[in-house]
A = this chain, B = another copy of it.
């Protein structure tokens, strides 16, 4: 058996690789929780996470691999309720990479780190043969205030799920670049700090947060349904999607539920907190298209996600199977 592209999709093949190989040897109480970041006790609660970035093209509408590498790890820390503090960067450079391109990427990382309020405290660089490509790994540490308890296992019947904005923009942007389709779709790549901040500042009791990246909304909601042992029902008509992305999807036969995003998150709150939380999120820089898109329901389908369709029917939403789009992040 050999590795193929689907093992990097964030969907079913990735999950199997996790279980069969990494899980078999690395299993421990922290890793087995499968959250966006590990939660550790280091004289208080600390979030700790890592992510590698292999996106192609490395510079795209709305961002570049450097911006993505900072946002990706910062967002993972935020999802655990942490205040992101420190970042490390590991660069793998292919021979032939233009120094000017590297400088653009590094400058973009520096700018993004400032915006996110994190300090880059350690780094490493390796060079391999190749054709001028670049891969970046970042890891990050954040501090979690003692009273916060955010986890994918916290959802209960009646809870509402808010999505912070339009689906599919990063995916549609990268695919447009690769297919040389000329349109105005920009990646949503951004640091989501202001969304949890606005909720915590107003004492909203946030139960679960997740950024919706590789694997898309369908996969993320399945992970939550499984962790919380609950059934989640999406309302298809509530999903925020821009006209341009919807048109793009219709032409190419793409399903926004499985498209990757890099600046979107879901927030799970109690029914009674939903209206206030939604208003707060809509007031942040990256939350103006936020919408309540799903509900945790009573039902026999524990660990499952279903969708009430536009036509009033209902269908099961599984995790992504196969490869969504290679090297999307």
Which A positions have Cβ atoms within 8 angstroms of B? 1-8, 14, 17-18, 21-22, 24-26, 28, 30-31, 37-38, 40, 42-44, 46, 48-54, 85-86, 88-100, 102-103, 106-107, 109-110, 119-129, 132, 135, 137, 139, 141, 143, 326-327, 329
CB pairs A–B below 8 angstroms (13 shown): A2-B97, A3-B102, A4-B95, A5-B95, A14-B125, A26-B106, A28-B119, A40-B86, A42-B42, A50-B137, A52-B91, A92-B135, A127-B326
Q: Are A122 and B48 also in contact (CB < 8 A) when A7-B93, A93-B8, A102-B21 are?
A: yes
- Considering the chains assembled together, what is the distance between the CA atoms of A98 and B4 in angstroms? 10
Q: Are B120 and A26 closer than 8 Å at their CB atoms?
A: yes
Nearest CB in chain B: distance from A139 CB, A? 4
Complex partner residue of A86 from B48, B94, B124, B137, CB under 8 angstroms: B48
Q: Are A51 and B127 closer than 8 Å at their CB atoms?
A: no
- Considering the chains assembled together, what is the distance between the CA atoms of A94 and B129 in angstroms? 14
Specify which of A4, A18, A91 lies most central, judged by the most chain B CB atoms within 10 Å of its CB: A91
Q: Are A1 and B92 closer than 8 Å at their CB atoms?
A: no
Residue in chain B with minimal CB distance to A111: B25
Complex partner residue of A3 from B24, B30, B94, CB under 8 angstroms: B94
Nearest CB in chain B: distance from A150 CB, A? 16
- Considering the chains assembled together, what is the distance between the CA atoms of A6 and B125 in angstroms? 11
Residue in chain B with minimal CB distance to A139: B139
Task: Note all chain B residues with C-beta closer than 8 A to A95.
Answer: 2-5
Q: Are A52 and B126 closer than 8 Å at their CB atoms?
A: yes
- Considering the chains assembled together, what is the distance between the CA atoms of A124 and B99 in angstroms? 27
Q: Are B31 and A126 closer than 8 Å at their CB atoms?
A: no
Task: Note all chain B residues with C-beta closer than 8 A to A110.
Answer: 25-26
- Considering the chains assembled together, what is the distance between the CA atoms of A9 and B120 in angstroms? 22
Task: Note all chain B residues with C-beta closer than 8 A to A139.
Answer: 50, 88, 90, 122, 137, 139
Complex partner residue of A121 from B38, B51, B86, B90, CB under 8 angstroms: B38
Nearest CB in chain B: distance from A144 CB, A? 11
Task: Note all chain B residues with C-beta closer than 8 A to A17.
Answer: 125
Nearest CB in chain B: distance from A44 CB, A? 5
Q: Are B48 and A7 closer than 8 Å at their CB atoms?
A: no
- Considering the chains assembled together, what is the distance between the CA atoms of A85 and B14 in angstroms? 27
